[in-house]
Amino acid sequence: MCMQHATLKSRPSLTPSQIADLRLAASKLSGPERRSFEAEMTLKYGEGNPLLAEAVFGWGRQTVALGLAEKRSGIICLGAQSALSGRKRWEEQHPQAAQALCQLADAHAQQDPTFRTSLTYTRLTAQSALKALREQGYSEEELPSPSTMAEVLNRMGYRLRKVVKAKPQKKIKETDAIFDNIKKKMTKPCHRKASNAGA
């Protein structure tokens, strides 16, 4: 109790508005970033005391203490939530099917004809990829939905659009003049000189 009174007496000279700003800033962060921010502010305004940070800013003293320890050691702690949770991607759950899909997509892939980008375009749609994988013997349980299949193909670097082999050249100013000139030549009567051989 005596330590708490001593801590509260040594509160930093921050206005309520500044304290509210620091609380707001901390609330916008999460995980290691939030702990790092709270530790920095505790060192700057609270003499590195987690109890004072709790009293002034309303932050959990255990969280502030962890942030200070991370700052001191340079080791970032991962919570069980972030380290162990989350669903694996389809490619990670079914590596053999993903390999088969990759080979299938490669067979239908083509480089951008202009070579302006390194992207690979494919005529293979998500529906046709699913159909081909079913034909190879993969079960419905192993295969994703069509929308997920489209995402998988995009993650693998294939863009689901048809390849344009060559774009027609744009009409230039001289095009009409060239065709008019050709028309004139085509419609002019041919004048042949009479042969003197028969005279």
pLDDT in tens, 66-101: 999 999 999 988 776 666 667 788 888 888 988 888
164 vs 18, more confident = 18
CA atoms of 148 and 146, how far apart (whole Å)? 5
Residue 13: predicted pLDDT: 77
CB 91 within 8 A of CB 155: yes
Instruction: Kindly state the average pLDDT of the residues 166-176.
Output: 66
Question: Using CA atoms, how far apart are residues 18 and 87, in angstroms rounded to an integer?
Answer: 40
Q: Is the pTM of this model over 0.85?
A: no
Token pair belonging to 12:
């930093």
Phi, psi values for residue 151, rounded to 5°: -65, -40
